[in-house]
C-alpha cells in the first residue's frame, strides 16, 4: 500500500514530529515503510536532531508494537558493565554481582531495542551484538549457557561509522548488518522554516506550563533565527525558547537584537562537513585535518627552503612549482641576493631573509610542529579545569561521551 502525504502527516502528529522539510518527510516515509518488516535499521544524524522519535515510529508501527521498547544509550554505559547491561550476568560473575540479572536483550524478547550512540560500543560487545543479530543467541556474563532471544535492533549514531570501520574501531560486518536500511535525520539548519514552526510550538508549550503569554518573533528576529546554525539542533532550540520564555518579562515580542543576545557566538567551522570522499566530518575532525595539513605545509616549506639554499639557482623554479606555499613571491627576486630563503611572516606575506638564518628557521619549524595528541590533551585539560573536574560536563563541552573522556584521561595520565 502506497504511503500518502496524509499518512505522513498523521504519523508526524502522533509522534510529535514538527516540520514539513522534504528531507524530514522522506525520513518519516522510510521509517513507515520499513516498520512492518524485521530488517535492522541504522538511523544517522547529528546529536539533538530527534533520532529516537524515528525508532519509536518503527517499533509502534510494527507487529512488535505490543512488545517492550527500550532505548539504550551505549555512550553512557561504562565499558566494564555494558555487556552485563545488554546481556545480563550470573551471580558471582564479577565483584558486586550479588545476584543474577537479566539483560535488555532478555527483557525485551519479542520487542525492540533502540541502541543510541552505537559507535561508542566496545569491540568485544560488538561481537556479542553481531551474534544476536545473526542467530538470536547470546550468553550472559559469567555463564556458558546459550540463550535465545527475538529482539529487533534499531541503532543510531551521530558519527561516521564507516570512518570508524576504516580506523579499526567498529566491526565492518556489524556495520553492514545494522545498515540494512539507513535513515538520515536532517539537522535543524537543513530544515528551512521548520525552525519557526518549532519555535512557536515550544513557545506555546512553555507558556502553558508557566501560565504566561507565549513569546513571538518580529520579522528581523525570524531572520536571525534562520541564519543561526543551531549545532545543538532541536534540543538547543527548545532550551533557547524555554530560557527566553522565563527571562523576557518586559515584552513577549522578541526582536532580532534581543534574540541575538540569547544566542552563543557561532564558530567559524560548520557543525558537519563532507570531505572530498563524501564522508561526514565533525568540527573536531575538521580541526585535526587542518592541523595535519598545516604541519605538512610547514615540513614541505622547510624542505624547499633548505634545497633552495643548497642550490640558489633552482630557487625560482622551486617557487614556480609550489605556488600554494609562495603565493606572494615573485620568483625573479628569489635570486637577487645569494643565497636567500623565503619566510612567511605573521600577516601572511612572504619575505626574504639571509641564509645565515636558515638554521633558526629550521628549528622554529621543528618547534612549531603540530601534535594532534598534544592539542587533544590541552583541550581535555581546559575542559576539566573549566568544569571543576566534573567529567560529565567536561565531556559535554568536548562533544564526546563520558566513557570516551574517561579513556582519554587514562591514556594521557590526567587523573589527579
Mean per-residue pLDDT, 174-192: 96
What pLDDT band is residue 330 in, cutting at 50, 70 and 90?
very low
Could you tell me if 233 and 49 are in contact, meaning their C-beta atoms sit under 8 angstroms apart?
Answer: yes
Residues 6+ apart with CB under 8 A from 98: 91
What pLDDT band is residue 24 in, cutting at 50, 70 and 90?
very high
**pLDDT tens-place string over residues 61-88:** 999 999 999 999 999 999 989 999 999 9
Helix (H) or strand (E) run with residue 273 in it: strand 273-274
Q: Check: CATH 3.10.450 for 372-411?
A: no
Quote the mean pLDDT of the chain. Answer: 82
- Report d(CA 138, CA 147) in Å as an integer: 5
**Of 252, 183, 188, 260, nearest in space to 217 by CA:** 252
**pLDDT tens-place string over residues 25-65:** 999 999 999 999 999 999 999 999 999 999 999 999 999 99
Q: Reduced to 3 states, what is the DSSP secondary structure of residue 269?
A: coil
**pLDDT tens-place string over residues 119-174:** 999 999 999 999 999 999 999 999 999 999 999 999 999 999 999 999 999 999 99
Predicted pLDDT of residue 97: 85
**pLDDT tens-place string over residues 291-326:** 666 766 676 666 666 665 566 566 566 656 665 555
Predicted pLDDT of residue 216: 95
CATH of 189-262, one of 1.10.8.60, 3.90.1150.10, 3.20.20.80, 3.40.190.10: 1.10.8.60
Question: In the chain, what are the domain boundaries?
Answer: 5-186, 189-262, 285-367, 372-411
Sign of CA dihedral 399, 405, 409, 410: negative
Residue 353, beta-bridge partner list: 341
- Report d(CA 379, CA 377) in Å as an integer: 5
Predicted pLDDT of residue 324: 55
Q: pTM for the complete prediction?
A: 0.65
Quick check: 89 pLDDT over 90?
yes
Predicted pLDDT of residue 123: 95
Predicted pLDDT of residue 17: 96
**CATH class (in words) of the domain with range 5-186:** alpha beta
Q: Reduced to 3 states, what is the DSSP secondary structure of residue 150?
A: coil
- Cell for 357? 638564518
**pLDDT tens-place string over residues 91-101:** 988 888 889 99
Predicted pLDDT of residue 314: 61
Quick check: 329 pLDDT over 60?
no
218: left (phi over 0), alpha (psi -120 to 50) or beta: beta
Predicted pLDDT of residue 325: 53
Quick check: 334 pLDDT over 50?
no
Amino acid at each position: 500500500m502506497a504511503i500518502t502525504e496524509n499518512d505522513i502527516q498523521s504519523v508526524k502528529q502522533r509522534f510529535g514530529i514538527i516540520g514539513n522539510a522534504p528531507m524530514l518527510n522522506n525520513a518519516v516515509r522510510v521509517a513507515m515503510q520499513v516498520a512492518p518488516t524485521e530488517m535492522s535499521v541504522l538511523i544517522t544524524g547529528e546529536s539533538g536532531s530527534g533520532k529516537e522519535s524515528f525508532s519509536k515510529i518503527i517499533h509502534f508501527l510494527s507487529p512488535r508494537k505490543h512488545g517492550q521498547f527500550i532505548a539504550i544509550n551505549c555512550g553512557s554505559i561504562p565499558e566494564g558493565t555494558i555487556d552485563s547491561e545488554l546481556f545480563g550476568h550470573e551471580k558471582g560473575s564479577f565483584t558486586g554481582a550479588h545476584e543474577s540479572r537479566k539483560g535488555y536483550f532478555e527483557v525485551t524478547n519479542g520487542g525492540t531495542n533502540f541502541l543510541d550512540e552505537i559507535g561508542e560500543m566496545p569491540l568485544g560487545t560488538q561481537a556479542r551484538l553481531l551474534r544476536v543479530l545473526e542467530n538470536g543467541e547470546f550468553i550472559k556474563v559469567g555463564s556458558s549457557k546459550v540463550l535465545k532471544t527475538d529482539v529487533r535492533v534499531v541503532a543510531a549514531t551521530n558519527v561516521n561509522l564507516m570512518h570508524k570501520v576504516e580506523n579499526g574501531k567498529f566491526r565492518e560486518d556489524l556495520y553492514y548488518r545494522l545498515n540494512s536500511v539507513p535513515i538520515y535525520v536532517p539537522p535543524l539548519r537543513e530544515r528551512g522554516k521548520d525552525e519557526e514552526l518549532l519555535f512557536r510550538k515550544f513557545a506555546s508549550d512553555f507558556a502553558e506550563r508557566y501560565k504566561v503569554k507565549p513569546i513571538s518573533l518580529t520579522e528581523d528576529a525570524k531572520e536571525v533565527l534562520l541564519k543561526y546554525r543551531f549545532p545543538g539542533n532541536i534540543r538547543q532550540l527548545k532550551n533557547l525558547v524555554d530560557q527566553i520564555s522565563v527571562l523576557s518579562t518586559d515584552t513577549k515580542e522578541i526582536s532580532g537584537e534581543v534574540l541575538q543576545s540569547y544566542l552563543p557566538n557561532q564558530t567559524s567551522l560548520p557543525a558537519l562537513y563532507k570531505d572530498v570522499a563524501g564522508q561526514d566530518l565533525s568540527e573536531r575532525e575538521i580541526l585535526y585535518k587542518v592541523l595535519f595539513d598545516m604541519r605538512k605545509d610547514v615540513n614541505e616549506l622547510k624542505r624547499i627552503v633548505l634545497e633552495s639554499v643548497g642550490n640558489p639557482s633552482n630557487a625560482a623554479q622551486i617557487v614556480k612549482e609550489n605556488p600554494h606555499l609562495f603565493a606572494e613571491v615573485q620568483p625573479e627576486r628569489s635570486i637577487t641576493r645569494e643565497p636567500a630563503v623565503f619566510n612567511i611572516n605573521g600577516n601572511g606575506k612572504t619575505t626574504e631573509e639571509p641564509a645565515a638564518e636558515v638554521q633558526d628557521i629550521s628549528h622554529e619549524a621543528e618547534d612549531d610542529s603540530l601534535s594532534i595528541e598534544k592539542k587533544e590533551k590541552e583541550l581535555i585539560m581546559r575542559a576539566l579545569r573549566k568544569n571543576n573536574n566534573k567529567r560529565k560536563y567536561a565531556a559535554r563541552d568536548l562533544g564526546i561521551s563520558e566513557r570516551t573522556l574517561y579513556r582519554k584521561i587514562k591514556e594521557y595520565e590526567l587523573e589527579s
